[in-house]
Each structure stands twice: as structure tokens, then as C-alpha cells.
Structure 1
């Protein structure tokens, strides 16, 4: 299994892009075939071989297609079909960044959606070569990231900021360390104004986004510990839950599993492919 994660080296690109990531499952590699992807408030642009299929399943349906695609922010846990070899090069955007992008076919908000794309048309780059970029990603992550910066910067230069995106960016900087009820005062606006701007930009409420961020941090914490080493009372306290039953309800709602069941199954993508860190 080949995998890496790197931040953008361009300050202009990094304003909108959180990181680039790469993952490959070569033939004959044995791994969990149907991992689950936890809810995510960020959008991902996923570059894949043109004939490679993708499959995202939820309780309400299945999104299937081929090749490169958008994975938009999603409230639900998605089950992936990774039973066959695959290759993905991803661009993870900051929360709310797609609001500022010049996407002619985008109608905000698009949540819990997957959409096939023609990257050459999207980026207005007839010379774009997905296979070449994927091959570089397999062999040289630094060169791959540099080429992604060069490829995306002309597109990102078209981004437009307004008072809603600026207020949302400030709120996101405080969201994980500040009670939601205090954000309006800290940002010198009414709570209603903040909520409306935040939802306009991200498609999510402040509470939904905060819950997803908390879940992501908790899953990273749990990934580093074996089931026998996890003290759920301690976990509940560390991640701001009022008690253990509150934590149980949260996990059940977010990923459909109780803490003990999750610790036993470990079927999320972080468990299957590891906590990929930038290098």
C-alpha cells in the first residue's frame, strides 16, 4: 500500500487547499475491502484513472461512477468499495473553500454528493494529463505536489471572497476551541448573522461542523491506541462530552457504531490505511 499526505507549498494555493494526498492499493494487496469514511466538512477533488470505478454507499443509496470526481462535504458515513486495486490522488480543500471557487456547474450547497468531472475542462487546461500526474504521485510526492500547485493556481486565482467567506474563515479559526454561543460576540456580529453566513459558505451549521471536527480528532486519538488501552470515560472527558452516554450517542449518530463495536471492528479508512501524516 502506497500512501502519502503533503501540504501545498504555495501560500496562494494553501489559502484554499488543506493538503494533497495519495493512496494506492496494488494488485494482490490484501486489505479491508469495504472500509467506511467518516463524515467530513471538506470537499475533495479526486484524480483517478479514467476507467477506474468508484462506489460510495449510504443507507439512502449508492453513488457510482468512473474516473476523476468531486466528493463533496458529507454528513453521513460512506461505505467504500475497495475490493479491487485502485489509485487516487486527492486535493482536500479547506472547509467552505468551494464557495469561493469559480465552478460553473456548482450550485451551493452540495452536500452528501459525488460528481464526475472532466478535469481538463474544469481547470481549462487541455494539456492536463491525469495518468502522468498519477505516475509522478507514485514515485515523487514532492514533484507531484509542485505540479499540483502549478496546475491549480490559475484556477484558484479566480476565487472570489465576500463578507460571508471572510466571516466564516474567522469562525473556523475559533470553532474547535470556543463555545458556539460565544462566537458572535468574539467576531463582533449577531449570532444569527454568523450562523447564516456560515451555512451559506459551508452548507453546514456551526454545530454540525464542530461535531465533524471533534469526531476526526477523536478517531485520530483512538487510532493510536489498542482496544484494551482505551478508557472511554477518559475519552469522553478529553473530547468535551458531558459523560460516557453522551459519547455513545455521538458515535452512534456519526458513524453508526457504539464505542465498543467500533473499537472491535476498526473498519474506518483511518484504521485500514493508517493515520497518514505529512512528511
Structure 2
């Protein structure tokens, strides 16, 4: 049903509608929408032959035109995904306000899927590259252990525990969760004192009860040997074991005299 002509001539209601429409969004959003729409009109003027902004109707906007506008914003104007989304919202706002049409949807009211896919491409292209994970080399390991031996934590047992953890992880090729606890200590999966076995004067074995590659939890035995230098796994494990009188307990650190497992943090 079309609006009766009597309403069209009602200045008071026209002003009330305009006021409510203006209050639907805040000033800052309105300014961004206006900038986005002007950018879109300028884009159309530069690429559409015979384009006239005064007679242009938003119902003529196609999905292809919007896709190329997004590409223009991203590749030429160097705009971010969030800004492009706001610019498109400005185009939609203008179309709904002045032409009573949502240019971002088809005639059935469905959002243009190809346009959404292109926007997703813009978003993913802005994804931050994964931080490169550099390996702990033997030289770096020596520096870490030497630093801890100098009393990095000012706590002998804690310094020794971290030395042992670093060396054990290095020689055993361990993942972080294979020698630390996530939240609560679990003796069925976490490393215990009883999992350390000194086979001879130069060999020690470590029983990993749960690893990523051991899906049936059968356990994996890792053999470590005595070597010269500060990064000897045999020597450090021997020193660490001398602190523990509980052969069924877990490998703990003692901050402020309180027993704690070595947690991932």
C-alpha cells in the first residue's frame, strides 16, 4: 500500500520521521557512513561510464559492483576489513534511507554470498603471521643452565628444578605437557619421582606415562646418559632426586616453602 498523498504534505510528521531517523545512529557512526557512501559514489563515477550521482538509484547496485568496490578499498585505498565493513554499512544505510532498498541483499532479502566470501578473504589476508618458533640450541641451553646455576630465582631447589626440566626436555625431545601439569597434578599421567630410574652409573631412564604419540597410554621409556659439562641430564636428575624423600611423589618445586607441581604458565 502506497503512502497517501495527505501524509506526504504533512511537514510536522516529516520532521518527526527525519529526527527519529537521525537518532537511529550516533554522530560518529553517521560520519563514517557518510564517508563510506561518498567513497562508493566516487568509485562508481570513476568506473561506470555516464554515471550520474544525482540520478543514481541504489536498486541498480549489483553484487559484482560491491565486490569490486571491496577490492578497490582493500588493494587501492589500503583499508582494513573493519573499515570496509563500515563503508558497506554506509552504502546500505543510504540505500535504505533514500531508496528504500538494501543494496547488500538480493531481491529475496538474502545476503550476497560471493560478497561475503570476498570480505572473508579480506579478513583472512589481514591475519597476523604466526610467530616463528626458534629452536633451543645446545649453546642456548648451556646459557640457560649457567644462568640458573647462578641463582636466577634465589632458591636453590627451584633453580635446580628448572635446570633439570630444561635439560630433560632438550635431550628427551619432550613437549611441554609431557613434563609439566596443565592444572591439577595427576599421578596417572604426570611425571613422578618413581618414573626416574638410575639403571647404572652412567644411564638413567625416564618413564613418560602419557604422550601425544602414545594414544594407548602404554608408556615410553627414554634413556639418558652421563656426559661432561653443565648440561648433563644424569647429574641434574641425580641432584634433583636427592632432594626428595618421597619416592612416590611428584617432581615438585618449593616456592616459599610450599609444595607445588611444575605447571605450564
What is the TM-score of this pair, normalised by structure 1?
0.21
Q: Which has the higher strand share?
A: 1
Comparing both chains, which one has the higher relative contact order based on Cα–Cα distances under 8 Å and sequence gaps of 6 or more?
1
What is the TM-score of this pair, normalised by structure 2?
0.22
> Looking at CA atoms only, which structure, 1 or 2, has the larger radius of gyration?
2
Q: Which has the higher helix share?
A: 2
